[in-house]
Amino acid sequence: MKKVRKAVYPAAGLGTRFLPATKSIPKEMLPLVDKPLIQYVIEEAIESSIEQIILVTGRGKQTIEDHFDISFELEQALQERGKHETLAQLRKVYEHVKLSYVRQRQALGLGHAVLVSRDMVGDEPFAVMLPDDIIDAETPCLKQMMEVYETYQSPVIGVAEIDGPDISKFGVVSVEQIDEKVYKIKDMVEKPPYEQAPSNLAIIGRYILTPDLFPVLESTGRGTGGEIQLTDAMRQLLKSKPFYACKFEGRRHDGGDKLGFLIATVELALKRRDLGPPLRSYLKSLKL
């Protein structure tokens, strides 16, 4: 049995929902408290024993590469000033995981972003993790999904309950429950109208996939939004192999949405020992 060692991070999007801030700064580098969005998700992978991160980037994303590179002068200054905790935070990513980069030359959708990672992934199972989805969980979301993968040896998709019309913003699964948090997927559809959604279980930005998806992606035409949709390719592969859904335990924050970003900032800051108490006092003082 091949273990899941690699994780793909699509990070080539234009970040239009956060303009003008993202005109020259990658959306993935916007800070939640004091860490970029993408770093939270990479740290989740490290805590789930992922060995290699494959970042799918595009034009204007050089800042991401610089952020995860060694900054000799900065690290030396921190060392000399005795700021060892800050230094450890800077080194956390590149000391624990191998980082690789591949360019997505055209923004043709999530399915296309996954496809361009094919040569780096090779012939082994792999995770796909979307930097927009910040999941605050005692046991990392990806680790929960890896346990399901090890049991069933088939692709696993992270899902969460979304009630009301917002379900139409997501891929949605039709399922048969087989365990408390595990479902066998019968069908999936990308961004259905609210009235036609097959369930309230939405596909969230965490996937464990197998390499037989790549030939399917290669032959998948453009779908919703004129893009190559990952959901369409998974749906095609579903005809020949089982897929499972994992309803993970944890609090999901939508870092790609302005309100979701603000909520995440407040909630994550409140959990910090250094920021939580004064922020809580300030929030209580507001006359809302």
Looking at the predicted structure, is the pLDDT value of residue 226 above 70?
no
Lowest mean pLDDT among 71-75, 109-113, 272-276, 282-286: 71-75
| Between residues 183 and 65, the one the model is more confident about | 183
Question: Cα separation of 135 and 146, whole Å?
Answer: 15
Please answer whether residues 136 and 250 qualify as being in contact, where contact means their C-beta atoms are separated by less than 8 angstroms.
Answer: yes
Question: Cα separation of 32 and 17, whole Å?
Answer: 16
Lowest mean pLDDT among 21-35, 95-109, 150-164, 262-276: 95-109
Q: What confidence score (pLDDT) does residue 1 get?
A: 67
Looking at the predicted structure, is the pLDDT value of residue 255 above 70?
yes
| Superfamily covering domain 6-280 | Spore Coat Polysaccharide Biosynthesis Protein SpsA; Chain A (3.90.550.10)
Q: What confidence score (pLDDT) does residue 47 get?
A: 94
**DSSP assigned state of 93:** T
Please answer whether residues 103 and 53 qualify as being in contact, where contact means their C-beta atoms are separated by less than 8 angstroms.
Answer: no
Burial degree of 8 (CB within 10 A; 0-12, 13-18, 19+)? buried
Q: What confidence score (pLDDT) does residue 104 get?
A: 87
What does the DSSP assignment read for 199-266? Answer: -SEEEEEEEEE-TTHHHHHHH----GGGS--HHHHHHHHTTTS--EEEE--SEEEETTSHHHHHHHHH
pLDDT in tens, 139-198: 999 999 999 999 999 999 999 999 889 899 888 999 999 998 999 999 998 888 888 889
Name the residue type at position 56: V
pTM (2 d.p.):
0.90
For 116-134, what is the mean pLDDT? Answer: 94
Q: What confidence score (pLDDT) does residue 277 get?
A: 96
Alpha-carbon distances of 227 from 6, 113, 190, 221, rounded to whole Å:
25, 10, 12, 8
| Between residues 92 and 203, the one the model is more confident about | 203
For 80-108, what is the mean pLDDT? Answer: 83
Phi-psi region of 191 (alpha: psi -120 to 50; beta: other; left: phi over 0): left
